[in-house]
Structure formats: C-alpha cells, structure tokens
Chains A and B, each alone.
Chain A
C-alpha cells in the first residue's frame, strides 16, 4: 500500500510540474509549486516508512515550514503581495 501511495504521489508531482511549466499566469505557477511542496512532505514521510527509518519525519516537518515560507517569499516578489496593510496596498488594476 505504501508503494502504491508513493507511486500516486510521484505521478501527481509530475502533473504539477506540467502545470508549473504550462500555467498561463504567474499565480498558476506558484500554486503548482506550492502543491509540489506539500506532496514532497507526504513523499518524505512515506519514504521514511517504506525504508523503515521514521527519523525522516523531522525532515518532513521542516520541509512543510520551508515550503510555506518560500511561497510567501515568492509572493512578496510579485507586486501584489497578499498580507500588506490596507494603507500600503498597491493600486488596483487600472
């Protein structure tokens, strides 16, 4: 069962890379990369169990945090970052 789950997650990682390359807008790409990251967390946990080394869970935990911070960081480079104060909001679309 663990092997089946690993294969499914691998297929979905490939699908999200396809979306990240094809995605028409910047946000499609960020969404695909975010999904790739969350699937990586699951993949690390499953691989740890498949190889009999539950220590991998620490790495999965850290990867979940890094993934979130990297998404917020990439959003910060785009002009319209989501968490700004209301008075600093960039101009709405013209």
Chain B
C-alpha cells in the first residue's frame, strides 16, 4: 500500500513538472499576449493540482492535507479571477488580440 502511494505520488509529481515546463515554454513561444495567457492557464490549473495531489499522497497528517487542499482551492479560485482582470484591463487599454485566419497565414508565407 505504501509502495503504491509512493509510486502514485511520483507519477503525479512528474506529470505536473512536465505540464509546468510546457506552460513555461508556451509563455516564451506563443506570439501575443492573449495566447500566452492560455499557456499560463495550463500551469495554473492542472499542473498545480497534480503537484499538490502528489504531495497529498505522500503525507498522512490530516492537518497538512487540509492545508494542501486549501492551497489548491485558493489557487483554483484565484487564477481565473486574476487572468480575467488582466485580460479585461488589456483589452480596454487597446491591446488588439492577434486574430489570424488560416488562409492569411498561408498566403503570407
């Protein structure tokens, strides 16, 4: 049972790290602000949940689990609010999102 828990938590932590790395690379690779926001969204939702789940599986202490769950819930509640405020401020300041049609893209090449 203990071994199973350790393996499950290891898998959660590894997949979470991979998703976090993907989000960081997306933050650098994507072309404009609004698409970068989606890349940051990956690291805020599933990656955070997986890393914290991996930590929950490692520790049997009830108070520690409660605090980890609280961090998870706070992150899941806060991150959409923050990105909504950011996106709304950006669009109101006149930052145009890059909307490209697939055809234009092929013609420009």
Q: B55, A71: Cβ atoms under 8 Å?
A: no
With A31-B36, A82-B86 as contacts: A42 and B51 at CB distance below 8 Å: yes
Interface size class of chain B, counting residues whose CB lies under 8 Å from the partner chain: 35 or more
Docked Cα-Cα span, A28 to B29, in Å, equals 13
Q: A60, B71: Cβ atoms under 8 Å?
A: yes
Determine the main DSSP class of B at the interface with A: helix
Q: B85, A83: Cβ atoms under 8 Å?
A: yes
- Tally A residues with Cβ within 8 Å of B: 50
How many inter-chain residue pairs (CB < 8 Å) link A and B? 149
Q: Which of B28, B51, B59 is close to A18, meaning CB atoms less than 8 Å apart?
A: B28
Chain A residues with a Cβ under 8 A of chain B: 1-2, 4-5, 7-9, 11-12, 15-16, 18-19, 25, 27-28, 30-32, 34-35, 38-39, 41-42, 45-46, 49, 54, 57-58, 60-61, 64-65, 67-68, 71-72, 75, 78-83, 89-90, 92-93
17 A-B pairs whose Cβ atoms sit less than 8 Å apart in the complex: A1-B54, A2-B13, A5-B13, A5-B14, A11-B21, A11-B24, A12-B24, A25-B95, A34-B82, A35-B27, A35-B40, A61-B67, A68-B78, A68-B81, A71-B86, A75-B89, A79-B93
